[in-house]
Chains A and B, each alone.
Chain A
């Protein structure tokens, strides 16, 4: 079955330190990979996506993610965290062969950046 795992319910980092939010997936073939962020009382905002090509993808707000095919991972990273980055982060994948264009989401990771 297709699935996405975000192994950490919460990640705590100090402002200015690097952050990593982990994501691994189990999808047949070569999926498309996405990261979304959800701020309190807001919808999901698109951060970045991996389709093909360079394994390091750069997105909004200074975030980047690294696609690792052998480890089936797509970890979200940022070199220097801001307090305003505190939010709920979702990893999602889409099976290239799925005609429904459905996104399969992980359970989410809450990022808390302390001043």
Chain B
């Protein structure tokens, strides 16, 4: 089954304790992206990756890091989480190509993070 998976689905942590949220897709997609969802704000892009070893900042990258060492994985790293990073996080993937911008982004199930 074609899918985007995220782990963990739920996480409660404390300020300053480094954490990683994993994202994996089995569709051989080149493009992957992280969004955060906050009430009344919709989803906002944090980081994206066009391919292995190619990453760039989205609209709200402060406090986050990413890496793309393999095509299927795109982990989101919070080196020193703070309460304002409490949010619902989504990973997405798609396959840019000749019709790059028209491709649909497929989303993972989300990770609900609470930072105390």
Residues in chain A within 8 A of chain B (CB atoms): 4, 32, 34, 36, 41-46, 49, 51, 90, 92, 94, 96, 100-103, 105-108
Contact = CB atoms under 8 A, between A and B. Distances in A.
Given A102-B45, A103-B43, A49 B104 contact: yes
Given A43-B90, A44-B90, A103-B92, 19 more contacts: A36-B107, A41-B109, A42-B110, A43-B4, A43-B107, A43-B109, A43-B110, A92-B43, A96-B101, A100-B58, A101-B94, A101-B100, A101-B105, A102-B33, A102-B48, A103-B45, A105-B35, A105-B42, A107-B42
Interface string B89-112: 010101010001110111111100
Contacts, number: 61
B8 to A, nearest CB: 14
Contacts of A107: 40-42
B74 interface: no
Give chain B's interface residue range (CB within 8 Å of chain A). 20 to 34
A36 B31 CA distance: 19
B1 interface: no
Contact of A101 (B33, B59, B90): B33
Nearest to B10: A41
Contacts of A45: 107
Contacts of A32: 101-102
B42 A46 contact: no
Given A36-B107, A43-B107, A46-B104, A90 B33 contact: no
